[in-house]
Amino acid sequence: MASGIDLKLRRELYRLIDLKVQEDSKTIYIKPLIVAKIVYQETYEADRPLLKWDGSKYSSVGSTRFLSLRSPRLVDFRKDKKPTPEDIGVNQL
């Protein structure tokens, strides 16, 4: 998800290093403290791991069908939103 990242977004992404809690070969996990605005071409259903945040790390609690994004692109960070179900529900897609 790196296309279209300008200098302002690059600086904000660099600051997220302080929120990193773990990583694997495909993903860097950060504390769930920010909301990002993402644009995409379309959605599709896919099986994804279901992760739970325990306050210090994520752990797998199974898998489920999720909406995935085709060709996602980071646009901005939403300072007016919080990472809560009320602010980031799937109904906003």
Query: What per-residue confidence (pLDDT) applies to 60?
Result: 92
d(C-alpha 65, C-alpha 46), whole Å: 5
The bridge status of strand 42-53 relative to strand 58-70 is antiparallel
For 14-63, what is each residue's pLDDT tens digit? 888 899 999 988 888 888 888 999 899 999 999 988 999 998 999 999 99
Query: What per-residue confidence (pLDDT) applies to 66?
Result: 85
Query: What per-residue confidence (pLDDT) applies to 92?
Result: 64
Listed by start position, the domains of the chain span 7-81
Whose tokens are 């992404």? That residue is 13
C-alpha atoms less than 13 angstroms from C-alpha of 37 in its C-beta half-sphere:
10
Residue 88: both structure tokens together:
């980031």
Query: What per-residue confidence (pLDDT) applies to 42?
Result: 93
Q: Which pTM value belongs to this model?
A: 0.68
CA torsion sign for 92, 45, 42, 10 is: positive
Query: What per-residue confidence (pLDDT) applies to 91?
Result: 66
